[in-house]
Structure 1
Amino acid sequence: MRYLVWLLRLVVFIIVLLFALKNTGPVDINFFAGHVVTDVPLIVVMLVVFVLGIALGLLIAAPAVLRARREKARLRRDIARLEEKNRQLPAAPAEAMAPETVAPMAPL
């Protein structure tokens, strides 16, 4: 399975590399207020937009990740507290009880 994952990663890397090599032509970038940057390779523009997208995605996902970590820590504390409480309880009786002693059978 591990080799299959690495093979898939290699195939994706080769496809992205070939795509990058095919898109090296110069482009003009138009910003607001008439500001223009000329002759920028297309792959550079694509890479910058990709990195900005990743950064924005991580920034948006950060609160949910932090909330999940806090919840996980709280649940671990609760488990530890309950396990400690369970250790302090007296031991259960060793002999088995007959079902009739717990809940008497109803008459037929």
Structure 2
Amino acid sequence: MGYARLDLIYIVSKIAEAAIRSAAGLSYSLDDMPQSVKEAAAAIVATVSEQIAVEDDRILRCRICGKGPFTRKGLYLHVRRVHLDTIYDMVRRELETYLWRTKNI
């Protein structure tokens, strides 16, 4: 396993964590991301976090499985424990799409 593979795993995990925190309404930071992907990471966080949770009348529900209601921390823990692999796949797909668009424009 080379450095590029480790960097990709690191980037995907950081973006996934930020997306989960954003969906739950918790604070997050992308400051430790490489400058070259920081803009893409912010866009991916916004896209993926919209697909994780829905908030109706201040009631949070998981958009992936429909469970809820959750508190902000409860939603965060639910998504981390139950749907983390799904979130990694979503982030990886969005990142691949972003990189493909960048390469082919």
Using the size of structure 2 for normalisation, the TM-score is 0.32
Q: Considering only CA atoms, is the larger Rg found in Structure 1 or Structure 2? A: 1
Using the size of structure 1 for normalisation, the TM-score is 0.31
